[in-house]
């Protein structure tokens, strides 16, 4: 894919004016208040994985509307007194935690698929994506019981015509509840929780940074749902392409769709974020155009009482894969420094 967005020098200065609904904050305050009326954790069950250095539990927690959401919770085996125990009894000392969000169309998969963060010594919670999991990977286990509102069949357009019905209202609420869940699990230092994600997962991590004021860190790569209006003009690649395809058939629905999308805009969440942040972006990314990531980065934390620490890494010749394993290594080094005793 050739470079198609703004030149890097312009991206570094790109700060579009936010297009926020006047009730943006109230919308999310009411949504999260309703979701937070019950304890998040429903069940925690140990699972056999065949791994000797990691212990994993199948977690169910209450997400949007109290719906059951699945997740994998993993701890380094070296931090447990006995193999096969529950996290209630075996943990020696609380660990910082990473809550990870998966990409569009992917579910939580199998528990041995994502081991980077637990092998780095963190407690790790990998959230399932409700109503997704059928496009790649090894599937998911969380249905979306609210998928009947007007809109198309794909997650990006489910309930698109009203913000109260939109799929991403539910998924973002699940993502916030995942942080509350990991904090409720023994073995976790609740003051040191990071939100991590790539693509759709990056958009969710950014939303969590804007909605959870005491989040300790956010690692955001190639975020979806950033600069949405511009992205719809720049690319026809899914998931944005699903929205343009829907609007090409449902002529006249643009205003309603843009109204719903405005409540999910990552730039608005970025403005409200307070946690230190680490961004990554491929400058040839035709899935999540880089101007969206830079707009979120450049406005990140601007409404916070103090400017949060932040940095961004650009990969000029890469697309949606961005820095791939090179970037993950940078994330590991950065988060280790953020969670070091010197930062405490």
Q: Which residues are catalytic?
A: 199, 285, 320
The number of angstroms, rounded, from the C-alpha of 297 to the middle of its chain's C-alpha atoms is: 15
DSSP letters, 252-309, are T-HHHHHHHHHTT-HHHHHHH--S-EEEEEETT-SSS-HHHHHHHHHHTTTTSSSPPP
Cβ contact 307:271 at 8 Å: no
* The residue to which tokens 């830079």 are assigned: 294
Residues linked to residue 99 through DSSP beta bridges, in sequence order: 125, 195
DSSP assignment letter at 59 = E
For the four alpha carbons of 170, 136, 61 and 77, in that order, the dihedral sign comes to: negative
Backbone torsions φ then ψ of 94, nearest 5 degrees: -65, 140
- 105/107 Cα distance (integer angstroms): 7
Give the whole-angstrom CA distance, residue 234 versus residue 228.
10
The closest alpha carbon to 126, from 88, 135, 116, 134, belongs to 116
Nearest to 170 by CA among 187, 192, 145: 145
Q: How many angstroms separate the CA atoms of 70 and 2, rounded?
A: 39
Residue 9: CA count within 13 A, CB half-sphere? 0
Query: CA geometry: angle at 52 spanning 47 and 56, to 5°?
Result: 30
- Which stretches does DSSP call E strand in the chain? 41-47, 54-62, 68-76, 95-101, 123-127, 188-198, 217-221, 277-282, 310-315
């Amino acid at each position: 894919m050739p470079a198609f967005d703004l030149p890097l020098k312009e991206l570094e200065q790109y700060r579009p004016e936010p297009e926020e609904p006047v009730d943006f904050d109230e919308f999310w305050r009411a949504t999260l208040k309703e979701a937070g009326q019950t304890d998040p954790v429903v069940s925690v069950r140990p699972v056999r994985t065949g791994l000797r250095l990691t212990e994993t539990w199948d977690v169910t927690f209450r997400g949007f509307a109290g719906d059951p959401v699945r997740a994998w919770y993993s701890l380094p085996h070296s931090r447990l007194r006995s193999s096969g125990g529950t996290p209630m009894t075996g943990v020696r000392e609380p660990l910082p935690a990473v809550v990870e969000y998966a990409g569009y169309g992917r579910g939580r998969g199998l528990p041995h698929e994502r081991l980077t963060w637990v092998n780095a010594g963190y407690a790790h919670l990998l959230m399932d994506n409700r109503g997704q999991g059928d496009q790649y990977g090894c599937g998911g286990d969380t249905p979306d019981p609210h998928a009947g509102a007007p809109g198309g069949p794909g997650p990006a357009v489910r309930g698109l015509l009203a913000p109260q019905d939109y799929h991403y209202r539910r998924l973002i609420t699940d993502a916030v509840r995942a942080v509350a869940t990991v904090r409720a699990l023994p073995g976790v230092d609740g003051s040191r929780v990071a939100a991590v994600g790539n693509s759709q997962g990056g958009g969710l991590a950014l939303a969590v940074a804007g909605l959870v004021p005491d989040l300790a860190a956010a690692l955001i790569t190639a975020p979806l749902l950033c600069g949405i209006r511009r992205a719809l003009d720049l690319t026809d690649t899914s998931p944005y392409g699903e929205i343009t395809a829907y609007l090409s058939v449902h002529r006249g629905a643009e205003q309603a769709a843009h109204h719903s999308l405005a409540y999910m805009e990552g730039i608005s969440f970025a403005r409200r974020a307070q946690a230190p942040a680490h961004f990554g972006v491929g400058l040839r990314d035709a899935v999540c155009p880089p101007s969206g990531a830079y707009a979120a980065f450049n406005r990140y934390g601007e409404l916070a009482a103090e400017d949060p620490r932040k940095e961004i890494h650009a990969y000029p010749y890469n697309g949606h894969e961005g820095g791939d394993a090179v970037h993950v290594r940078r994330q590991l080094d950065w988060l280790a420094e953020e969670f070091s005793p010197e930062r405490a």
